[in-house]
Every structure is written in structure tokens, then in C-alpha cells.
Structure 1
Amino acid sequence: MATTSESSSEKEETIFQGKVFNDPIHGHLELHPLLVKIIDTPQFQRLRFIKQLGGAYFVYPGASHNRFEHSIGVAHLAGELVRALRTRQPELGITDEDILCVQIAGLCHDLGHGPFSHLYENLFLLQHEKASIEMFDYLVKDNKVEEEMKKSGLDPTKDLDFIKEMIYGPLDTEVVQDNEWPYKGRSEDKSFLYEIVSNKRNGIDVDKFDYFARDCHHLGMKNNFDYHRFFHFARVCEVDGKKQICVRDKEEGNIYDMFHTRYQLHKSAYQHKVTKIIEAMITDAFVKADEHIKIESSEGKIFTLSTAIDDMEAYTKLTDRVFEQILFSSSTELKEAKQILMRIISRDLYMFLEEEKKPTKVITLDYGMKDENPVDRMNFYSKKNPDKADKLPKEKVKM
């Protein structure tokens, strides 16, 4: 049995092996050594070269931030929320292993993004969450991360599934019966853990908390949503037999501020007219360049811009840098694509879109769930009865 001094020494060594990141949004973040191990892989470092907001950088000069720092921020916030729940409700049985897995999911949730983020995803009909779990599998295998997981007390046989499920959802593609628990990584009594990184139930998760704050900061916009308050008042309650993350009834205004911030970001930046025109031009350039961009894997196989997603080693090499590769190319095969990108640089933008592209420019703004009010899927508890949560009274629901 280890002595007290030995235990203290081991704990100090673990802290020492971690790293402190100075983030412009969240301040100084201290990350576990296993998270640092993942960050220091080529697959994760690739995110340094993928713009968070795609073509919006050509409209907003401050929007130069990348998926790299966003992913670190999400890992941090995931840890903050799950630790807050454990401190407030020790009866939930949240373990150190749960916390570490939730943070890894936050860190790796965007590994699958391609050049200019959602632009590549929309162009090649890619689901970035699916690509993220494929890239995560490749990262784990290529860097022997399973060994590091075991050293940190994790069990790869179940925890790898748990991490991927938090990013993507149920991994089993077969139809799951309504009364059947669809996840393998954790049992149903920990269903609330699946609402932290990517909340399929109501869209309220730490991924949004980070990118709302980060995007507003770099765009020079105001963010009225206070995620610190959400963490302070978040609580797990049982609703219809399922454990869900709920919040105090008096916090409905803060939740509405979150969805209003989302609306404003889409209206002012993500769906900005010039942003969409520039992204249409980049899309045209990528389509023309597609078969002429050659990406080689270690086995000598050659992939193109559109097929690189079929091989994670090749995909690791595909980032926003392909824009400059085309822009500065002297290849006659890339001439047409280069001319389009030159027009972006010289601000000779498309004045209108061709007929076949008009449907893609019809933009409908909402609060994240089309005609449905997302707050209808959020449950609130009261100060008098913190263990019982329910929907807001109709008179308090607003759009």
C-alpha cells in the first residue's frame, strides 16, 4: 500500500506532466497529461490549419481562429461542467474516468473537419461527426494511445466506445427499439453524460458554449449568454425515467440569450451575404481542382481532394493550405481554380449566382430546431424542489 507521501508525490507528478494553456476566452486551462498526449499528435495538430469560420475570415479580419483552439476550449468546458455536477451531486457516481472520457470527447469532437470546416463538409456531403470518430480511431492506433489510456486508469474496451458515442451518438446502425438503451460505453444511469459535448436532445452543450464565446470574441460581437451561470445552476434530474441535465427555472432568460446569440451569429456572420459568395467561389475552385490535387498515403495510394476522406492518413494532410496550394500553383491543370481564388484575393467577387446555385442560397434562420422552440426540450427545476424538473409554463415560453 502506498504511503501518504508516495500518493502525494504521484499526484504532483501527474499535475506536472500536464500542461497549462493560456486561452483568450477561458484564461489559463490545465489539461490532463492524456489530453496533452492527444494534442501532440499529427492528427490533432492538423486542426491548427483549419479555420473555425471558413470563408467568414475573408469578411471579418478577426475571424482567424482555428478548430485547434476551439477543441481545447471544448475539452476544458466539458471538464468544468462534469466536475460541477459531481461536486453538487456526489450521488451521481461520476468517476475520474468519466471526467477524463468526457474531456477527450470534447477535445476530439471536430477531428473530422476538412478544409474551411463546413464548406468541405457541404461540398462532399460529408458528416464531420462520422469523420471525427474515424480520425479518432486512426489517432489512437497511430500513436499507441490505448497504452496511455490504461496508464491513466481508463479501460479502452469500453471507454473508446464511450468517447465516440459522445461525439457521434449510438454506434450501432441498426434500428434501436424505444425501450432499449442504445449506448455501450456507459449504462443508462449515466445518460446525462451524453448531453455534455454533443447534446442530441436539445442542442445545449459545451461545444456551443465555446464557439459562441470564441466566435463573438473574434468577430467583435456581443455574447449575452453566460455559461458560468449555466454551470452554477446545472443539475441532473430524472425526467420521464431518464437522467437529464436541467437548470434553475430563473435561468430561462440566460438560455434564451444563448439561442439568440446563435441566431445573431448566423445572421451577421455565418450566413453573411459576402461570406456565402466567397464560400461559393472557394467551392467552385475546389470542384475544378479536385482531381488535380494529389495526396499520397504511406502505402503509395493516391487520393484527390474529394477522396482523401476515404483514407485517414491522407486526410490528415488535407487542410486549409490547399487554398494556397492552388493559389500559388503554376500547373496548367489548376489554372481555372487558381483564377477563381485570385478573384477572391483581389475582391473581384461574384455579383450573382448562376441559376443552378440559387437554391443553395435560400437561407432560413431559426433557433436551431427549425420551427420548434428548443427551450421546449429543456427542463427546469425550482429552488424549492431541486430534484424535480419540468418544462417551462406556457406563459414563460417565448421565441
Structure 2
Amino acid sequence: MKKKQANKLKILNDPIYGFIQIPNSLIFDIIEHPYFQRLRRITQMGFSNLVYPGANHTRFHHAIGCMHLMQKVITVLRFKQVAISKEEENALYIAILLHDIGHGAFSHALEHSIVNGISHEEISLRFMKELNKEFGGKLTLAIEIFEGKNPRKFLYQLISSQLDIDRLDYLKRDSFYTGVTEGNISSDRLIAMMNIKNDELVLEKKGIYSVEKFLIARRLMYWQVYLHKTGLVAENILVNVLKRAKELAEKGEELYASSSLKYFLQNPITANNFTEKTLEMFSKLDDFDVLSAIKEWVHHKDKVLSLLSKMIVDRKLLRIEIQKNNFEASYIQKKQDYAVKKLQILKEDAHYFVFHQQISNQAYNLKSPILILNKKGKLKDIAKASDQLNIEALTIPVIKHFICYPK
């Protein structure tokens, strides 16, 4: 009996864009791959749901949304007589689908604790190369575009620039799921205004106000959502939980953990020793491994690990103070002394509960400008083309300092 062929031309229903069509069977097979399915188990916004209870959407949602927007972009550009071949179209879908595939559990927390010296972009590239082997070289062009090695500059700009498809989706999506309306940008209008000039991605002048709103929305989302003080505290506590667990595991302490999490706790992982086996273990690691371990670690005999884990599980977090200037050394010392006394911990463990860092936000970077195309065919940086003075102000990085300590 002949094996029944799977229907690969599926339609997905997205709460933001409505129906999303999977363009062809290659894209379907990539989405079906276990590497990509893992993204269903990685939240897009880490611990933001401790502040915004609706923010439980995943990297899977986001990647599919990006692919949908890319379909719209290609339709718009072809309508404006920009030649994009079938191969380039497919490569753009693959590159944008896989741009975040290297994100670890809870997104950025892993990069600062148990996987060191290798960024999620580098891990994404390794996943893409591995998939390329499995799919018989069909991802070669997508990888070339992702690495910025393709001669057509705008192909890379659609994947990574200040007005890339990634940002157009995550701002709208994160705004929807958090309920923070300030981030709700008009991605349709921005895409309709896109064009290509001298092989660069540009925006027609009619879209200038949509770009202004997009830049301001990005700034507001950073301060209100991505760098929200509660989210900051939770993410940093998570980093410290994983650091402490790794410290204990390296000393031979017995810790409850899934096999994939155990692998990263027991082995020092850097860019140099990130082997095929490491990639395979990484592909099995997700938010569930980390959360189930933390729930168990609440009962661990190591006081530091237990206290930190309990803070996350019960949402009884550290206090945070944010200010423009750096904190005085004497003030930090005072907080550390207080932590030692209150939590009855060793002095050398105080840094797990009292820590200070800086955060910065630059809504617009002049180094890779958003170019506005006027009716005469001339190009101008949005910061110069806009009559809004605050666009110029958005180019200045805003730096703030924070300190966390027990309540």
C-alpha cells in the first residue's frame, strides 16, 4: 500500500495577523524539525510574565510571524519591480524563520550563566549549518544572507537592520501580549512603504511618520517592558541561580536536573568546545528543564541555591533601585552587610543577593541609518529627514544604573 503523503501546505491562525500560510514543503519540513519545534518551549520574553501576565508567547510564535511579514515584503517589493528570484525568496523565509533558533532557555539568561563566550547568533548559525547538511545544501543561500555575505545588501537588511522584519514582528507581538499599547506599530504601513535603492532597503517619504512612531514605540517598549525593573530583577536572579548551580555541579555536588541541563552544568561551555554533541544537547534544553530544576532546588541543602530558587518560584524577588549615577561603594557594602545578617549567609556569597549593573537603551543608531527616499530619488537619514527633534534625541544612549538587594 502506498504511503499517504502529508499535506504540507498548512495554514496557521495567528491572533495578530490572522491566517498565515506556509509557502512550500521545504519550509514546512524545517518548521516540523525538532530543532524548530523546541522554540514552542522557549518564551519570547523570559520572566516578563511576572509583570505582564499575558506575556506567555513563545519564540515559535515570533518566528512564524516573521515569516508571514517576509511574505508581505516580497509581494510589495516585486510589485515595485524589485527582482527577487524564487531561490532568494525561499532563502529569506528560511533565514528569518531561523534567525532566533539559537536562543537558549529563558532567552538571554543562559548566555550570561552556563553557556559562556558564544552568542545566540553564533548558535543559530551552527543550527543552520547542521540543518543544511540534513536538507542536502538547500539552506546555503539562506546562510549566506544571514551572515551578510550576499552581494545584495538589502537581503541582509531585511533579516538584520534597524528596520528589519524581526523588530516589526516582536514590537507588535510583545505589545499585543503584554497589553502595552505604546508598542503597537503599523507593520503593514511600514512594509507598504519599503523600497530598494542602490541595493539598500529604504522607506518612501510617505511612510516617515510610521517610522517615527516605530522608533518611539521601540524606546517606550524598552523602558516599559524589556527593561522593566521587576523583569530585570527576575532575570538576574535566574542568572545567579544557574551560576550557583554550575558552581556546585563543578564541585561534584548532586543536583536535580534533566540530562540536557546537567550537561551544561557539569561542563564548562565556550565557543571553542561547542561541539556537535553540545549542539545536540542544546537542542534539547528549554524553559521546562530550567523551571522544573528550580522548583526542586528550592529544597536543596545549599542555602544560596535554595533561597534564590524560592525567590523565583514564589515571586518574592529582591528590591531594586535604579538611578542615573553609579552607586557608591560604601552603599553597596552596607547592602551586602545587611544581606549577610538578614539571610544568615557567608560573606563571600553576598554577591548572589546584592549586585549592581548598568542598563542602556539607544532607540536609534546612526551607524546603520534608516534611509528615507524622497520623490526626487534622493536619500536622507530619518534623523535629518524628520521634523521631529526627538528623533535626534533618540540617537543618544540612555544609561541607568541599578542595584538589587534583599528587602
Q: Is the 8 A contact 1:380 1:389 kept in 2?
A: yes
SS in 2 for 1:113: coil
- Aligned partner of 2:10 in structure 1 is 19
Alignment map for 1:240-389 (pairs within 5 Å): 243-290=199-246, 291=249, 292=255, 302-304=263-265, 307=268, 310=274, 311-329=278-296, 332=300, 336-352=304-320, 358-360=355-357, 362-369=358-365, 372=366, 377-383=369-375, 385=376, 387-389=377-379
The one of 86, 105, 123 equivalent to 1:131 is 123
Residue 321 (structure 1) shift: 1.4
- Aligned partner of 1:232 in structure 2 is 192
Alignment map for 1:101-140 (pairs within 5 Å): 101-123=91-113, 124-140=116-132
- Aligned partner of 2:76 in structure 1 is 84
Q: Is the 8 A contact 2:69 2:169 kept in 1?
A: yes
Paired residues in the alignment total 337
| Whole-angstrom distance in 1 between the partners of 2:31 and 2:123 | 18
How high is the TM-score relative to the length of structure 2?
Answer: 0.75
Residue 247 (structure 1) shift: 1.2
SS in 2 for 1:126: coil
- The answer to whether the aligner puts 1:60 opposite 2:52 as a matched pair is yes
Residue 166 (structure 1) shift: 3.3
Counterpart residue identity of residue 212, structure 1: L
| Whole-angstrom distance in 1 between the partners of 2:93 and 2:267 | 31
SS in 2 for 1:18: coil
Counterpart residue identity of residue 205, structure 1: D
| Residue identity (%) | 26
SS in 2 for 1:396: coil
Q: In structure 2, do the counterparts of structure 1 residues 194 and 347 end up closer, same or farther at CA, with 3 Å as the change threshold? A: closer
- Aligned partner of 1:221 in structure 2 is 180
Q: In structure 2, do the counterparts of structure 1 residues 227 and 325 end up closer, same or farther at CA, with 3 Å as the change threshold? A: same
| Whole-angstrom distance in 1 between the partners of 2:52 and 2:356 | 25
- Aligned partner of 2:66 in structure 1 is 74
| Whole-angstrom distance in 1 between the partners of 2:208 and 2:320 | 42
SS in 2 for 1:349: coil
Q: Is the 8 A contact 1:120 1:126 kept in 2?
A: no
Residue 162 (structure 1) shift: 3.0
Residue 307 (structure 1) shift: 4.6
- Aligned partner of 2:139 in structure 1 is 160
The one of 38, 43, 60 equivalent to 1:51 is 43
Residue 305 (structure 1) shift: 7.0
SS in 2 for 1:279: helix
Residue 389 (structure 1) shift: 3.0
Q: Which runs of 5+ in 1 are unaligned?
A: 1-13, 147-155, 171-182
SS in 2 for 1:268: helix
| Whole-angstrom distance in 1 between the partners of 2:195 and 2:6 | 28
Q: In structure 2, do the counterparts of structure 1 residues 74 and 15 end up closer, same or farther at CA, with 3 Å as the change threshold? A: farther
The one of 84, 92, 99 equivalent to 1:94 is 84
Q: Is the 8 A contact 2:171 2:184 kept in 1?
A: no
How high is the TM-score relative to the length of structure 1?
Answer: 0.76
Q: Is the 8 A contact 1:198 1:207 kept in 2?
A: yes
Q: Is the 8 A contact 2:300 2:306 kept in 1?
A: no
Q: Which runs of 5+ in 2 are unaligned?
A: 250-254, 322-331, 334-350, 392-407
Q: Is the 8 A contact 1:295 1:303 kept in 2?
A: no
Report the RMSD for the aligned CA atoms in angstroms: 2.8
Q: Is the 8 A contact 1:294 1:305 kept in 2?
A: no
Q: Is the 8 A contact 1:380 1:390 kept in 2?
A: yes
Residue 62 (structure 1) shift: 0.5
